[in-house]
């Protein structure tokens, strides 16, 4: 009888732990905490890409101006 009770209680504890682990809500997001790390990284990459494109366009315009004798 004692072994059966221990087995049932042990399975109940394991089932409860699995249930809690799988179905618990994710960590709450604080309001106004700012962007998450991946979003911040993506924003930084987008900003760098924009700066690179603007610099490349500026250099291309300078080369075109020099080639056409504008300077």
Distance CA 12, CA 3 (A): 14
Would you state the pLDDT for residue 36?
Answer: 84
Tens-digit pLDDT profile for residues 5-60: 999 999 999 999 999 888 887 666 566 666 788 899 999 999 999 999 999 999 99
- Listed by start position, the domains of the chain span 36-71
pTM: 0.47
> Do 69 and 63 touch, CB atoms closer than 8 A?
no
d(CA 66, CA 60): 10
- For the record, the structure tokens of 17 come out as 């732990």
């Amino acid at each position: 009888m004692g072994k059966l009770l221990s087995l049932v209680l042990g399975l109940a504890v394991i089932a409860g732990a699995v249930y809690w682990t799988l179905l618990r809500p994710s960590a709450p997001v604080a309001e106004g905490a700012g962007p998450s790390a991946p979003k911040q990284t993506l924003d930084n990459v987008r900003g760098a890409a924009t700066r690179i494109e603007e610099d490349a366009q500026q250099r291309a315009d300078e080369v075109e101006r020099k080639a056409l004798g504008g300077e």
